[in-house]
Amino acid sequence: GAGVSQSPSNKVTEKGKDVELRCDPISGHTALYWYRQSLGQGLEFLIYFQGNSAPDKSGLPSDRFSAERTGGSVSTLTIQRTQQEDSAVYLCASSLQGYSNQPQHFGDGTRLSIL
Amino acid sequence: QKEVEQNSGPLSVPEGAIASLNCTYSDRGSQSFFWYRQYSGKSPELIMSIYSNGDKEDGRFTAQLNKASQYVSLLIRDSQPSDSATYLCAAGGSQGNLIFGKGTKLSVKP
């Protein structure tokens, strides 16, 4: 597609439920990144994929968070047993290759609200 | 811990003035630097990239890089109210990711 596509755009769920967020990167981009941004805060790095592998998972805040990428394209971020502190905007970005000299292009994000 | 530091602001400038946004980074090995603009409630949008020491100009925007001082800046000439946003500085990390600063909020007053 023309840009990074994320779905859903908004998600409201009850505490304790599992949620799955989806990211479809720019066509041909091999690197994919997940970030989290709480209201008024900076970007918090979660995980980075190069192809289907994740060289850097250091940002995942707990074992309730997991992510996968299949076919070198679409990625899903799963949060199990959601907590209220998980409420944030989850942003996905992609870049042509997984080199740090490549700019990242962001999707519009998924706004997650945990009741 | 590799970090990118920015003054959180808000930085307030009058319309038509030059806005100067600054950023320092801790990883001396970083070779690539990016400026993103983020409007309230929107996702970050890439506006400039810079890889070499010196200045890089693109329209009203000029990025400046000084690797010896580990310092990056963004100048916005003839600032407009539509430039009011949070500006994020990012430096290339060793893992293929980018290290983002927390952003500087710019307010351009008509």
Mean per-residue pLDDT, B67-93: 96
B34 contacts A103? CB cut-off 8 A? yes
pLDDT value at B84 more than 80: yes
Binary contact (B92, A100; C-beta < 8 A)? yes
Burial A17-31 (b: 16+ CB within 10 A, else e): eebebebbbbeebbb
Residue A85's SS3 state is helix
pLDDT at B45: 96
Residue B96 contacts A where some CB pair is shorter than 8 Å: yes
Interface check for B63 against chain A (CB to CB < 8 A): the answer is no
Mean pLDDT score across all residues of chain A: 92
- Provide the β-strand partners of residue A25: none
Please indicate whether, in this complex, the C-beta atoms of B34 and A43 are within 8 angstroms of each other: no
Q: pLDDT band at A1, cuts 50/70/90?
A: low
Q: B13: burial class by Cβ within 10 Å (0-12, 13-18, 19+)?
A: middle
- In chain A, the residue whose alpha carbon lies closest to the alpha carbon of B103 is A42
Contacts of B30 in chain A (CB under 8 A): 100
Say if CB A34 and CB A92 are below 8 A apart: yes
Contact B44 A100 (CB under 8 A): no
Beta strands A75-79 and A65-69 are antiparallel
SS3 call for A86? helix
Q: Do B97 and A33 touch (CB under 8 A)?
A: yes
Q: Is residue B104 within 8 Å of residue B37, measured between CB atoms?
A: no
What does the block give as tokens for B98? 């980018």
CA B76, B81, B86, B92 torsion-angle sign: negative
Question: How would you classify the pairing of strands B104-109 and B11-14?
Answer: parallel
Closest CA–CA distance from residue A98 to any residue of chain B (Å): 5
Closest CA to B38 of A51, A35, A95: A35
Residue B81 pLDDT greater than 70, yes or no: yes
Determine whether the interchain pair B97/A56 forms a contact, defined as Cβ–Cβ distance below 8 Å. Answer: yes
Q: Is the pLDDT of residue A20 over 80?
A: yes
Determine the pLDDT at residue A55. Answer: 78
Q: B83: helix, coil or strand?
A: helix
**B88 close contact with A: CB closer than 8 A:** yes
Taking only the tens place, the pLDDT of each residue in B17-46 is 999 999 999 999 899 999 999 999 899 999
